Chain A
Amino acid sequence: MLEATPTEVQEREALRINPAKTCQPIGAMYAALGLHNCLPHSHGSQGCCSYHRSHLTRHYKEPIMAATSSFTEGTAVFGGGANLRQALTTIFKLYNPDVVAINTTCLSETIGDDLPSLIRAAQDDGIIPEDKLVIHANTPSYVGTHVTGWSNMAKAIVDYLVQKSDTPQQQINLIPGYVEPADTRHLKRFLKEFGVESVVFPDTSDVVDTPQTGDFRMYPKGGTPVEDLKTAGDSLATVALGPMASEAAAKSLQNKCDVPYRALDLPIGVAACDRFVQTLMELTGTQPPESLVDDRGRLVDIMTDMQQYLYGLRVAVSGDPDQVVPLTEFLVSCGARPVYVITGTPSKYFRKRCEEILSNTVPEAIYKDDTDLFYLHQLIKNNPVDLLVTNVYGKYIARAEDIPLVRFGWPILDRVGHSYFPTVGYRGSMHLLCTILNTLLERKDRDDPDEVFELVM
């Protein structure tokens, strides 16, 4: 497995090997699924839409519905306007969504299709029915990564759909970040427990984790309703969780409707959850309920009870900046040493926060953005680690180097459960910590000789 990877690290200028990121449109498609009765639409070649649907399907193990402008060579020459008009005609007649959320691709961006004009013309010509909405995000694949794509679509939702009236609402807006449906569901419950009214968007819960009922629904019951978004401009504040994915939308909402925002790390691990709670306390003047304080206590209880299994452990981490930053902090808070921390997404946020978290606690740590898994593997070959926490693609490194692996982040194509069990909030963090601990203990049981194979801790 990966035998060709040399130990010696050489500088590469042009060749990316085993990327730790992918392209914008897939992130935009995922964010678009978080709108109620919305059909994502990919403006470009069929292949993009096909690949994005396949990949999202493999991760969520759920139907991922999206249409495409089906560009051919002629379209690439003459522009995608005619294709988009035909697509919208077909979509509204056949699939009848309330919203179509268009993302561009490298092809439509390179030929320079002007989406706002195309949408306006389609509106003027009655191709878009009056009670229907078409929004768009520019998501060229040669800029940013899937995280940027999610961010751009979240911003497009604000730009197109959020409104301000003269009626202030005693509610906060929550942008949950590029997270699992279970995370968003948990965050909504968290706010409810807190007694905070909220508008949460985009919300993919009940869209990509729907129950088996024997009836396929093209538009499942979940997703943020457009009606709710119309009030988001009147909220007290916006909380943007995961700055890479969520801050652009929050900032846009502030500019558009004067709603102040706070950008926070995703609430993974005790410290990040505490900051989330403190922010909610400040914004709403509400005290956290006993149930949440108890959850916090249970999380810390596991951390203190089990600290010996993580203390001093060398860990390698890879994933999206928003996930990796709080995870690294969480690992440090448990006594582990995240010695290699990488992401494929270029990110100042990542560099700054890693510096803050690691410089005093794990001074030997190497952290790097805009890099790939080939580099991470080389680091590990030079000085091995005890645990790997990555998305599914890390499994090759884990096997090659015989390292216990915890799958975390996006995508996870070969396991189940990630979309059903949250990793945010105190309870989600408990779940994540238990997964890490149990993975390490499983490995110990696998590797221990018979004479030291134990029943009790």
Chain B
Amino acid sequence: MRSQSPIDETTTQETVEEIISAYPKKVAKKRSKHIVVRDPAQPEQEINANVRTTPGIITQRGCSFAGCKGVVVGPFGDVVHIVHGPVGCSYYSWMTRRNQFKTREDGENFIHYCFTTDMNEHDLVFGGMNKLRKAIQEAYDLFHPRAITVHATCPVGLIGDDIQGVAREMAEKLNTNISAFNCEGYKGVSQSAGHHIANNEFFKKWIGQDTETESIEGYTVNILGEYNIGGDAWEIERVLNKCGIQVIATFSGDGSYDEATKAHLAQANLVMCHRSINYMANMMETKYGTPWLKVNFIGIHAFAKSLRKLARFFDDPELTQRIEEVIEEELAIAETQIAEYRQRLEGKTVFLFVGGSRAHHYQDLFADLGMKTIVAGYEFAHRDDYEGRQALPKIKVDADSRNIEELEVKPDPENYQPPKSEEELEKLRQEKVVGEYTGMMPDMGEGTLLVDNISHHELDTLIKRFQPDLIGSGIKDKYIIEKFGIPSKQLHNYDYGGPYAGFWGAVNFAKDVDSRVNSPTWQYVKAPWQQAS
């Protein structure tokens, strides 16, 4: 158990009541199901998640388009991503997630470009399909990319532009991979819908497209749900390579199309962000027999634990020994370098409101620094991200989720090649090495608070009540939090910092957190004559 709340359960309960009582009655009833005081004595605490935000509530959430193009698809840097719609959606998702991409040998790099059909009133009235066709043609003529993606925004869905049809037609004409994502912003209740839509289309149009390569030697994995913010993917790959494990494809950080089309050849999928990409892990398991392992590469002990999980999976004494050597070497260096910062950070408290996995992952890294997470919640997670996958059968599919396509996947007659026998895999399943995610809740200490889809009002109240030493959140909250005199660390975007993953990343993080929390600047928030005597 990582976190004990420095406040008692009664105070936490009182705070929850204070939060709820400010709401209109119906909203209060709804929100109370999204707030849980952690009680480890109860084996299965429930929390409501992935349901609509009440209109008018100031929320952290974005939309389906943001989840699809902005998060999952956009980071593929050697692909031209066209946004079909008015200019805004493309503009706001243009390099705002700090996706970093290294040009491969072929020199294809479009990561700094922003492509849109910039639909105007005429297109809305008469339909935008011709404009999309032309835009694809123009992109092709200018850049000859190896793949093109097309993303729908709200009005496109409403006027009924058949972007799938245009993509098919143009793919045939240009003999290029063109995939279309119906990720209109109104779909689902948050970014989450867009992740699912992105996964589906990648699964249908990208995975397995490389039919030339039959197999790849050695220990091979894909990393799923890693977006290379501030260079995270490179640090993860450095350590895996050092152990002798090859990364075939990363979805999507520093992602390349050619690598992605080989993903079905990897022996295992390592799932970082469970929320954004567990769909892909499941579908690949069914179709290609690729087992998935939930890992966390954020935090030095979490990384070591994940590496040992991998050692157990591959079950080769030589590899296991190499992994142990790498862990010993990397841990020793990182621990020494972190020690100085830990001295200054030990015992400080943290709130975490990030994404659909980061609020869990970063607790391990804060624990490395001796910091306690006392309130945590996700912005767009589902119940399984909190309660673990055992919650899956209990989740009722509502109308908003039903609108997202569920692919029917079957084993591929030729390429279904599990890396291990069914008996071995069953054993690994029993040991919870593969196919298991227990969620954030079991790792939260007694009396801590879980808040799903936190609203501004809730954040405001919790800050005033608990005065944390640091809040990990996103850009919309950052300066709100800091106006309270409390430092905030962007954990979607890292404030120009990073990497934070892995061993080197943890040291970076320690330094950056120390610079936020222990900066002398906070002492000047009140003028000398305003300070209580």
Contact residues of A with B, CB < 8 Å? 1-4, 6, 10, 12-19, 21-23, 25-26, 41, 44-48, 50-55, 57-58, 61-76, 83-84, 86-91, 93-95, 105-107, 109-111, 140-143, 145, 210, 212-217, 344, 374, 393, 396
Contacts and interface: CB of A to CB of B under 8 A. Distances in A.
A217 to B, nearest CB: 8
Contacts of B46: none
A89 B110 CA distance: 45
A10 B86 CA distance: 22
Interface stretch (B293-301, B364-372, B472-480, B506-514): B472-480
B476 A86 contact: no
B92 A55 contact: yes
Contact of B56 (A14, A58, A61, A88): A88
Contacts of A142: 86, 119-121, 123-124, 155
Interface residues of B, number: 90
A100 to B, nearest CB: 9
A95 B459 CA distance: 13
Nearest to B486: A214
A46 B62 contact: yes
A107 B479 contact: no
Contact of B475 (A3, A26, A58): A58
Contact of A4 (B56, B59, B92, B110): B110
Interface stretch (B6-14, B186-194, B230-238, B434-442): B186-194
A86 B131 contact: no
Given A214-B484, A216-B460, 4 more contacts: A58-B475, A67-B55, A74-B400, A110-B159
Interface string B123-134: 110000011111
Contacts of A53: 476
Given A17-B114, A73-B186, A214 B526 contact: yes
A48 B188 contact: no
A15 B63 CA distance: 24
Contact of A50 (B63, B138, B153): B63
B485 interface: yes
A91 B118 CA distance: 33
Contact of A14 (B62, B87, B132, B474): B132
A19 B114 contact: yes
A190 to B, nearest CB: 28
A400 to B, nearest CB: 9
Given A16-B118, A76-B186, A107-B185, A67 B62 contact: no
Interface stretch (B19-27, B173-181, B245-253): B19-27
Contact of B55 (A58, A70, A76, A95): A70
A193 B187 CA distance: 54
A51 B139 contact: no
Nearest to A214: B485
A449 to B, nearest CB: 31
B282 interface: no
Contacts of B92: 22, 51-52, 54-55
Nearest to B142: A6
Contacts of B58: 65-67, 95
Nearest to B154: A107
Nearest to A18: B114
Contacts of B188: 72-73
B57 A107 contact: no
B483 interface: yes
A77 to B, nearest CB: 9
B482 interface: yes
A216 B480 contact: yes
Which 8 pairs, one residue from A and one from B, show the smallest C-beta to C-beta distance? Answer: A47-B63, A23-B88, A90-B56, A87-B56, A14-B134, A214-B485, A45-B185, A87-B55
26 contacts: A12-B138, A15-B82, A16-B117, A19-B114, A19-B116, A22-B88, A23-B87, A23-B88, A23-B89, A41-B56, A46-B53, A46-B59, A47-B63, A47-B65, A47-B89, A50-B63, A50-B66, A51-B92, A65-B456, A69-B55, A71-B185, A88-B56, A93-B22, A110-B159, A141-B88, A214-B485
B57 A76 contact: no
A48 B478 contact: no
B75 interface: no
Interface string B44-63: 00000000111111111111
Contacts of A95: 58, 457
A106 B84 CA distance: 13
